[in-house]
Amino acid sequence: MTDTARTRLLATALDTADSAATVVAGAAAGLATYRALAHRPMETRLTLTAAAGALALCLTDQATTLLRRPLRRHLGLPAYGYTAPLASPAAAPSLGQLTAEAADDAAHRAATHAHTLDRGSGSLTQAANWIGQVDGTASCELTPDARLLCVPAPSDRYGAGARTYYLAADGERPIEVHTLSELVALLDRLADGQGLDPEADDDHYGDDHYGDGEQLDHSDLDDEDDQDPEAREVLVVGGYSEEPPF
């Protein structure tokens, strides 16, 4: 028998004996009290029996603890029956280990910041649904041909900055999303066979039309503006102020 098996066996025997002694003492005290109060009302007998049993349990446990400590010390056992489980050794740092941890960190950060999209702590806020990358980006597969991308801010030096979410689909330009409702609406467009960009539906109006179909009147421009080409402004209705960083 190995030393570890011997130690576990002795510890189990002492703990079992302690529990048995405590239970027997409590039961004996309760039974004695119940019989001694045979002429009292039943409610009184039961109440005092429970009190006597509980008191006997506490006193016996304290007494056995005091008796077990020197015995355990003599046998080389811990002072108490419970011993904390040994933690599994951590993996040594290496390039492969740090690469995997960086990707896992990106997935957790994407899930954490996804609360800005879903305050209900839904599936997007679960790190298991994200696949992180070493550069800090992460992706969450939504459909076979669409995924949600999480891109950290360029100034995010310490990993605590803002993150931007884009819906990307095969053959489509990524679209920034700000709410869960907006994400669902874009996915509905994909399911209907439409593109992600709603303005693509208005391209047939030409360059001289607004997105709502109204003709742009060039005669409203001043003559001074006509003489200075730099004074003209290109009208973009519903356009994007920034290009996605990928």
Q: Taking Cα atoms as reference points, which of 149, 154, 128, 129 lies closest to residue 137?
A: 149
The secondary structure element, H or E, covering residue 174 is: none
CA pair distance 98, 106, nearest whole angstrom:
12
Give yes or no for a contact between 166 and 151, defined as CB atoms under 8 angstroms apart. Answer: yes
pLDDT digits (tens, 9 = 90+) for 179-190: 999 999 999 988
Nearest CA-CA partner of 174 in 210, 200, 149, 144: 149
* Percentage of the residues of the chain whose pLDDT score is greater than 90: 25
pTM of the model: 0.47
pLDDT of residue 77: 64
Q: Assess whether pLDDT exceeds 50 at residue 222.
A: no
Q: Where are the domains of the chain?
A: 3-75, 95-196, 202-246
**Tens-digit pLDDT profile for residues 83-135:** 545 456 666 788 988 999 999 999 999 999 999 898 888 899 999 999 999 99
